[in-house]
Structure 1
Amino acid sequence: MNYQIVVDPSKLDIDDVLVGLRAFNDPFVDHIKETHIGMYAVDDKGVRVGGIVSRLWGNWMYIRFLWVEPSLSGKGIGQTLMEKMEAYAIEQGCHSSMVDTFSFQAKPFYEKLGYECKMSLDEYPIEHQLHFLTKHFTKD
């Protein structure tokens, strides 16, 4: 057996691993519905000034990206995007959500919205922290 280290592997190199991993995982998760959703805040000129991109997979929503134009920070755009995305996820059958965020990003923002920090990685990737938060949606 030989072993190779490949710096900056090509797409083909990566696909060699993904194909094998998917073949192993598919019997367990291939039947689970997966949907990618984007929602955007658009100003009066039609310019996107914020957005959220999520993955709905089974009963969970994973917030992949959330961005608001920095000059509009604190105006409720991020909170509105989150509330609308959560409402959509609930309509689609999700009971929970997860997100990860760096220490210099939005941990207090997510906590204000009811997310609970489940785990933090220190010194990631060097001097920051990476936080993993979840929220269980309650039915009213």
Structure 2
Amino acid sequence: MEFELDLEPSEENINEIRNGLVEHNSPFLTGIDRRKVAYYAIDGERKVAGITAEIFGHWLLINFLWVDKTIRGQGTGSELMAKLENYAESQGCHSSMVDTFSFQAKPFYEKLGYECQMTLENYPISHARYFFTKALK
């Protein structure tokens, strides 16, 4: 057996490894609902905020939340979160998970009832990354 370091792996090589892991995991995760979902705030013809997530089994996994700088602090992010959490609940989700950096939205998620489960200090160099969960109603 030989080992090879690849400092510029191609998408094909990355997918080969990913597909091997998916094949290994498949017997354990077969039949579990997994789908993407998003909510947007639209002003006229333009998105001014949005949230993307995934429903995975009974969990809502939040990927990205963005609010345009011109409307930050007006409750749009909180409203998007509430709408998405309500939708997730209607789909059978009992919990939600999100992560954020120390320079992003830690106080925002705490205000919404999220509890920090884990912190990675000095990530990736001098910041922290927080992993939050919240029990949905």
TM-score, normalising length: structure 2: 0.98
Give 1:114 shift: 0.4
Once the 2 structures are TM-superposed, how far is the Cα of residue 30 of structure 1 from its aligned partner? 2.4
Q: Which residue of 1 aligns with 2:9?
A: 9
Q: Deviations over 1:48-88 (max 9, x none)?
A: 00000010010000000000001211000000000000000
1:28 positional shift: 0.3
Mind listing any 5+ residue stretches in structure 1 that lack a counterpart? Answer: none
Query: Mapping of 1:78-93 within 5 angstroms?
Result: 78-93=77-92
Instruction: Give the drift of 1:132.
Output: 0.1
What is the CA RMSD across the aligned residues, in angstroms? 0.7
Aligned to 2:49: 50
Matches within 5 A, 1:122-133: 122-133=121-132
Alpha-carbon separation, structure 1, partners of 2:19 and 2:114? 34
- 5+ residue gaps, structure 2, are none
Q: Percent identity?
A: 49
Further displaced range: 53-62 or 15-24 = 15-24
SS in 2 for 1:70: coil
Q: Please give the alpha-carbon distance, in whole angstroms, between the structure 2 residues aligned to 1:18 and 1:11.
A: 10
Matches within 5 A, 1:1-140: 1-43=1-43, 45-138=44-137
Runs of 4+ in 1 over 2 A off after TM superposition: none
Task: Say how many residue pairs are matched.
Answer: 137
